[in-house]
Amino acid sequence: MDETYIKVKGKWVYNYRAIDKFGKTLDFMLSEHRDEAAATAFFSRAIGNNGFPDRVVIDKCGANLARLQNMNCLLILNGWFWLIEVLQVKYLNNIIEQDHRFIKKLTRQMKGFKSFISASATLDGIEVAHMIRKRQFETSGQSAFQQFAALAG
């Protein structure tokens, strides 16, 4: 899990992203803040869509670490037998850092967005196109355009 910066109305906002160890995109979310509340919203959404992870690799961001530690406390209180292992190892985060390059390459040419809503919608489309390119969806003989049209419709 990691976040990257995107410029909206001349201010930096944060694009949270999560991938698995094979590079498959699990979830993404655009947020105006990089704090524990934003991390909570992202982790809740990602876990709701994909289930609880065994371990999470994060960077040195204190908000992400605080949220994961709070989640582990809640798991203990609810009687769960395992906890989410939190790893803050510099080089294990390289997979997602390299995956950010594709998003940054496209958004750099745009020179920022004029509204948060348009940025969110555009990034959603970019992420879905990137997921199709990484062959994350069942193709059943469809072209990338046909898959994108089916997902958009």
pLDDT tens sequence across 71-126: 888 888 888 878 888 888 878 877 887 778 888 888 888 888 899 999 999 888 88
Tokens 């750099």 found at: 108
Distance of CA 113 to the CA centre of its chain: 19
CATH architecture of 2-152: 2-Layer Sandwich (3.30)
Domain boundaries, the chain: 2-152
Q: Give me the pLDDT at residue 11, please.
A: 92
Buried b (16+ CB within 10 A) or exposed e, 130-143: bbbeeeeeeeeeee
Q: What is the pTM of this model?
A: 0.79
User: 141 φ, ψ to 5°?
Assistant: 80, 10
